[in-house]
Amino acid sequence: MLLCLFDIDGTLTDTSDIDTACFVQALTDVFGLQKIDTDWSIYPDVTDSAITTRLVKMQRGQAPIESEISRSSEHYFSLLQSAFNTSSEQCQPITGGPRFLSRLDSDPEIAIAYATGSWEQTARLKLERSGYDHRHYPLASANDAFTRTGICSLAVERALQQYAVTEFKTIIAFGDGIWDARTALELGYRFVGIAQGDKAMQLQEAGADFVIPNYETITPAELKKRIGL
């Protein structure tokens, strides 16, 4: 059986800009942080939990306590929800995404799982508002682990349990960030980049099997062919 492991922001949902704005606002409001660098590629671990802890520790001199992290994630969720309620255009699927996942789901030899660096509550909100099924497939998030590798590994474990198999012959990770490509390489997964322009070239150079701008023309059969299955 083949597992397709999806990142969410920028990979399935076109929410990266508003997501970043709300995340930064929550950190500012709850912790009083300033001058937050939103070039996520500079952070060792690109997850909400790791970035929050790192920034707070850098600017306050000590790590946040659990209640503060919870307050920040709840505030972030509220800000994002309000933004989506104000304008549904703030949360759209990457073109062809919902249909592609539906096609994957119809193939009995393909399993689906989500592995996101976001907090679970906000991840599910983005999936739901963008038209994706977020309850049927296993999901691992920043609530579960601090690192991308930890999150992906847990998502795979949950997929093995849900699909009642002992192993996946191939795991294909889908992502839009350089950190997604690096994680896939570290874990021995195949990698499909979702990007355009310079970002697409960056992912290709990082070792992507191939890069596509969206899911408009890709099919499960084409995916298998391009991966060499």
Using one digit for the tens of pLDDT, what is the confidence trace for 125-151? Answer: 999 999 999 999 999 999 999 999 999
Confidence of residue 8 (pLDDT cuts 50, 70, 90): very high
For the chain, what is the radius of gyration of the CA atoms? 17
Burial of 68 (0-12, 13-18, 19+ CB in 10 A): middle
* Mean per-residue pLDDT, 181-210: 97
Domain positions in the chain are 2-15+91-227, 16-89
Question: What is the C-alpha separation between 149 and 13, in angstroms, rounded?
Answer: 21
- What is the pTM for the complete model shown? 0.94
- To the nearest 5 percent, what fractions of the chain are helix, strand and coil? 50, 15, 35
The predicted pLDDT at position 41 comes to 87
Three-class SS of residue 93? Answer: strand
What one-character-per-residue DSSP string does 164-217 give? T-S--SEEEEEESSHHHHHHHHHHT-EEEEE--HHHHHHHHHTT-SEEES-SSS
* Mean per-residue pLDDT, 210-219: 97
Mean pLDDT of the chain: 95
Burial of 21 (0-12, 13-18, 19+ CB in 10 A): middle
Question: What is the C-alpha separation between 22 and 185, in angstroms, rounded?
Answer: 30
Question: What is the C-alpha separation between 176 and 50, in angstroms, rounded?
Answer: 19
* Mean per-residue pLDDT, 196-224: 96
Residue that is written with structure tokens 């994680």 in the block: 183
Q: Which fold has domain 2-15+91-227?
A: Rossmann fold (3.40.50)
Percentage of the chain lying above the pLDDT 90 cut: 93
Using one digit for the tens of pLDDT, what is the confidence trace for 15-66? Answer: 878 889 999 999 999 999 988 999 988 999 999 999 999 999 999 999 999 9
The predicted pLDDT at position 55 comes to 95
Question: What is the C-alpha separation between 128 and 83, in angstroms, rounded?
Answer: 14
Three-class SS of residue 40? Answer: helix
Three-class SS of residue 45? Answer: coil
The predicted pLDDT at position 10 comes to 94
Question: What is the C-alpha separation between 191 and 212, in angstroms, rounded?
Answer: 11
Measured in residues, the chain has a length of: 229
Confidence of residue 75 (pLDDT cuts 50, 70, 90): very high
The predicted pLDDT at position 160 comes to 99
Phi, psi of 189 (to 5 degrees): -90, 155
